[in-house]
Structure 1
Amino acid sequence: MPAAEPVIIAIDQGTTNSKAIAVTAAGAVVAQGAAPVEVRTPGPDRVEQDPEQLWDSVCAAVADCRRTPTGPVQALAISNQRESVVAWDRETGRPFGPVIGWQDTRTAERCARLVAEPGADDLVRSLTGLRIDPMFSAPKINELLRTAGAPVDRIAVGTVDSWLCWRLTGHDHVIEAGNASRTLLFDVDRLMWSHELLGLFGVPESALPAVINSDTRLPTRTELPGIEGRPEIAAVLADSHAALYGQGCTAPGTAKATYGTGSSVMTPVNDFDPEPSPVPTTLAWLTDFPTYGREGNIVSSGAALAWLAPLLGLASVADLLALAGSVPDSGGVSFVPAFGGLGAPHWLRDAEPTFAGLSAGTTRAQLARAAVDAVAHQVADVIDTITGEGVAIDQLRVDGGVTASTLVMQTQADLLGLEVRVAPVPEVSAVGAARLAWASLGAADAWPDLDQDPAGVFAPAIGADEREARRDRWRTAIGSARR
């Protein structure tokens, strides 16, 4: 009997759960596991998690995955939620407080003050491609440093990949370059921490991790459940970047959308473009050379569906999607899920959640359908902005839980006027991290392109006039969501 093929265990630490998959060198997912993660909202502008629970959930997900026998584990790969930040004691490893989540907006006032400073936003955009916004890590890092209650030389701070690498390696304080690019502290052209940005946000470089390439190999000193020995880490990617890599979108003209709590819409580009844009340039990954991407981040997509379902007396998002599919359209109702404001391409942090076009005859099903439309409209806003600035996109490759809904996917194709192709595996971020890890080990030549065998292909089923009418109603609703 032939021996089982070696695998890489890819860990995907996300906002609401941690997942682990075992992937062969040919790209086959042969085992998987998951564990939930609690998200706390102690205030209207606060989103927090427990750093120890994040680590425990990773261990639980790996243990769940390892219940399925596989070949030997060659290495580990990490994909992680971005922009969320952790601070811990360099000597004891104990966190100084909760993770401040990427959705957290407690630093909005400080960000507004910085934007008002002459030249500050221009400086940030020219070096990072991003704008000053509470979603990104730098203002959160400053908050953690201020509230840690410890000398700066005792504080280690980083994004979630930094925290996981610290725990796995036995105290190596590192951050992967793509994650670093989301902090507002990293010069994505020179590929180093920027002293100008560190000064602007009040962050000492001594508290920050060392920046590593995405395919850097790190020895580990911590055992994970069900894994013999201590296999090295062979790749680290931020989750949206990992999905781009996993989808095979490595050349201009391709684009992906990942639907989760929020959504990420991203397309690779050849060079860093510091010119201001509502859909900025970011660093996708760094291997032998940097690969950049144009990306728009949507704050609330799956989260909006989860919020609306119980209000309509429904037990789950699946029930909401079924209800939405029972009507041909929203009856003129638009829903703008501006929880925490709107991200790209609008960047309206003071926008408020809004229903527009309501009437006495509006039904629960039409409200549900408006929520489905909102998920697709927000993605279309980003794609329309990118293509309007001269970047050609001929199809959209999609992943994430909501892609199981034919209604959402058909709506997406209709509102974009583009073909939408659904990934054949649900855990594309983890698959992307595994793909890069196998490449780091020199064994990814046989890896298939996920686009060659999509789970579904959706072509536009409405004409240009109807598409534009629906998009116009959405734009009007966006206007009414402004304070």
Structure 2
Amino acid sequence: MSSPEPVTIGVDVGTTVTKAVAFDAAGAALARAARPTVLDRAGDGRYEQDTERVVDSVVEVLGELRERVAAPVTAVGVTGQGDGLWLVDRDGRSIRPAISWLDGRATPILDRWDREGVTEAAYRRTGNHPFPGSAGPLLAWLDAYEPAALDRAATAAYCKDVVVQRLTGLRATDPSDASAPFLDPHTRDYDEELIARCGLAHRRHLLAPVRPAPHAPLGAEAAAATGLPAGTPVVGAPYDLPASAWGAGVRTVGAGLLIVGTTLACQVLRDRVDTTGEPCGLTLSTWQEGRWLRALPAMVGTAALDWVLRLVGATVADLPGLLERGRADGLTVLPFFAESGERAPFVAPRARARLDGLHLGTQPADLVRATCEAIAFSARHCLTAAALGGELTACGGGVGSARWAQIFADALGRPVRVLAGEEIGARGAALAALAATGEAEPTGPGWQPAGRRHEPDPAVRDRYERDYDRYLEHIALARPGWDRPATPLATT
């Protein structure tokens, strides 16, 4: 009797859920496992996570898959949320709660860096503009207000790198996570002058070494906890944005990926680094020489829609009917609900949401539809700044609604290929695991995710063009108010 065909496992450590998927050689998803994780609101503008609970969630999903899939495991690829700051000791154990990418406590640090020209210098040198929840400002904040924690730490790490270290003992990061804010995109190593300019040269030792495809064998302790054989290759895949682009099949320069999740992640594959124009967004080094992802990860997304749905007493299950009944004519929504403001396609840590054009005849469905259209306009704003020129693929919970997916196509004025399934990031992690362990790019049908195509409706083109122009005008009017200094967030 022949033994089962081997599988590759992809793990995606999100902000609120950890997922793992076992893929066979043809790319078919054989089994899935998930565990919720907790995002704690630790104070005004402060968001943290328990590092140990996040690591436990990974161990649990791997253990569940091991019980459900009898086949041997070729490798495990781990991706996860990017940015933020995960402070750990030499064994990868938590020094303090991880600070989430959603966090806004470092806004005063960025204000100072703006005045001193540091943020613009970072963008001109690396193609990455720091925002409050990125590692650079958070490291500077800890240096100012919790220096003892940094003194006890061995690494100011990223999420998936902590997981890999706990599974294998390897202390390293990959070029995608290291990109923001200190990586020179051409040398793929840290820009020492920029680190010094940020006032962090004395904390340089906390940055993990950058490796092109970090991987190491599963350790004995982690093997016992997960049930996987000791020695199984564990790979630190690119973090969730580039991993999703890999999993979605973005391979052609100019092609893009739109992820409609808690936030709105817009990426376009580029063959050069462009640091001209208004500083904003990210330039992520991929594992391929001469290829970068121009990423505009806006803070708007399904979290904004959830807030509006709660406001009108509705749920996601009501969305199709609300979109069908709603009429957004005359309404303009600026969907900047995140406490840390906006980071793409412009940086405004104090950006705030606005609802304009309301009157007594406005119906709840109108407000919901206007919000969905505004999020689609934000996607257009970002993808335009990222120079989208090829096919656009979309994934994420937001485009699971066919009606909302059609709104994206109409607002963007271009076709959108919407992928089925929710394991795009995990698929990218699995592909990275195969690549890092020397496997050729797999060609099975499952590795090319299926999708449905939404064409823009020419009958509504003029209305969407008009409303998009009005959306941009409202942003231009609001930005001077957002740029005024405000009372700093508490610093203790």
TM-score (norm 2): 0.90
Q: Residues 323 and 451 from structure 1, CA distance in 2 versus in 1: closer, same or farther, beyond 3 angstroms? A: farther
Residues 33-74 of structure 1: per-residue CA shift (max 9 Å, x gap): 111111111223111111111111112222333342241111
Shift of 1:280: 4.6
Q: Would you say 1:395 and 2:394 are equivalent positions?
A: no
Aligned residue for 1:4, secondary structure, equals coil
Instruction: Please say if residues 421 and 456 of structure 1, whose CA atoms lie closer than 8 Å, have aligned partners that are also in contact.
Output: yes
Shift of 1:451: 9.5
Match of 2:487 in 1: none
Question: In 1, distance between residues paired with 2:11 and 2:449?
Answer: 24
The letter of the residue matching 2:138 is K
Question: In 1, distance between residues paired with 2:407 and 2:38?
Answer: 31
Shift of 1:373: 1.2
After superposing the two structures, state which structure 1 stretch, 305-314 or 274-283, moved more. 274-283
Q: Would you say 1:474 and 2:475 are equivalent positions?
A: no
Instruction: Please say if residues 247 and 447 of structure 2, whose CA atoms lie closer than 8 Å, have aligned partners that are also in contact.
Output: no
The letter of the residue matching 1:252 is V
Shift of 1:180: 0.4
| Paired residues for 1:73-472 under 5 Å | 73-90=73-90, 93-117=92-116, 119-146=117-144, 147=146, 149-150=148-149, 152=151, 154-170=153-169, 172-182=170-180, 184-203=181-200, 204-213=203-212, 215-221=213-219, 222-223=222-223, 224-277=225-278, 280=281, 282-287=283-288, 289-314=289-314, 316-319=315-318, 321-338=319-336, 339=338, 340-387=340-387, 393-448=389-444, 454-463=450-459, 464-472=461-469
The letter of the residue matching 1:425 is G
The letter of the residue matching 1:447 is T
Provide the alpha-carbon RMSD of the alignment.
2.2
Aligned residue for 1:105, secondary structure, equals coil
| Paired residues for 1:13-52 under 5 Å | 13-52=13-52
Instruction: Please say if residues 26 and 447 of structure 2, whose CA atoms lie closer than 8 Å, have aligned partners that are also in contact.
Output: no
Relative contact order (alpha carbons < 8 A, sep ≥ 6): 1 or 2 greater?
A: 2
Question: In 2, distance between residues paired with 1:154 and 1:80?
Answer: 21
Shift of 1:393: 1.6
Aligned residue for 1:149, secondary structure, equals helix
Aligned residue for 2:313, secondary structure, equals coil
Q: Residues 318 and 279 from structure 1, CA distance in 2 versus in 1: closer, same or farther, beyond 3 angstroms? A: farther
After superposing the two structures, state which structure 1 stretch, 189-198 or 471-480, moved more. 471-480
Aligned residue for 2:374, secondary structure, equals helix
Shift of 1:25: 2.7
Match of 2:490 in 1: none
Q: Residues 106 and 353 from structure 1, CA distance in 2 versus in 1: closer, same or farther, beyond 3 angstroms? A: same
The letter of the residue matching 1:475 is L
Q: Residues 398 and 70 from structure 1, CA distance in 2 versus in 1: closer, same or farther, beyond 3 angstroms? A: farther
Instruction: Please say if residues 34 and 64 of structure 1, whose CA atoms lie closer than 8 Å, have aligned partners that are also in contact.
Output: no
Q: Residues 76 and 435 from structure 1, CA distance in 2 versus in 1: closer, same or farther, beyond 3 angstroms? A: same
Match of 1:11 in 2: 11
The letter of the residue matching 1:334 is T
Question: In 1, distance between residues paired with 2:419 and 2:445?
Answer: 10
Instruction: Please say if residues 421 and 451 of structure 1, whose CA atoms lie closer than 8 Å, have aligned partners that are also in contact.
Output: no
Aligned residue for 2:283, secondary structure, equals strand
Question: In 1, distance between residues paired with 2:103 and 2:352?
Answer: 16
Aligned residue for 1:211, secondary structure, equals coil
Residues 393-438 of structure 1: per-residue CA shift (max 9 Å, x gap): 2331011112210111100000111110012332111101111222
Percent identity, aligned pairs only, is 28
